[in-house]
Amino acid sequence: MAENTEAAVVVTVFTPRPEAKGELIEALREYLPEVHREEGCLLYAIHDAESGTIVLIEKWSSHAHLDRHNE
């Protein structure tokens, strides 16, 4: 079976309690520099939406890179 070398995009939407929103953002930001250094990371960004949700957007150059990140 051939390896999937297409880019992988992951979008995760968090709906934190209002009093926990800042804590969640800080926890996610803590990992930004480390993840950006990982091989294959094209994008790892946090969006603080007006709706109160936090959206984490990841883009990896391949599914294999995403799999290694998830390990």
pLDDT of residue 2: 53
Q: For residue 71, give every residue at least 6 positions away whose Cβ sits within 8 Å of its Cβ, in sequence order, or none.
A: none
Contact 44, 12 (CB under 8 A): no
Task: Look over the chain and give the mean of its residue pLDDT values, rounded to a whole number.
Answer: 92
Taken in order 70, 45, 49, 11, is the CA torsion positive or negative?
negative
> What's the confidence (pLDDT) of residue 5?
73
Q: Which residues of the chain have pLDDT under 50?
A: 1
Q: Give the pLDDT confidence of 16-27 residue by residue, as tens digits.
A: 999 999 999 999
pTM, whole model, 2 decimals? 0.83
Task: Give DSSP secondary structure letters for 23-50.
Answer: HHHHHHHHHHHHHHTSTTEEEEEEEE-T
pLDDT confidence of residue 4: 66
Backbone torsion region of residue 31, taken as left when φ is above 0, otherwise alpha when ψ lies between -120 and 50, otherwise beta: alpha
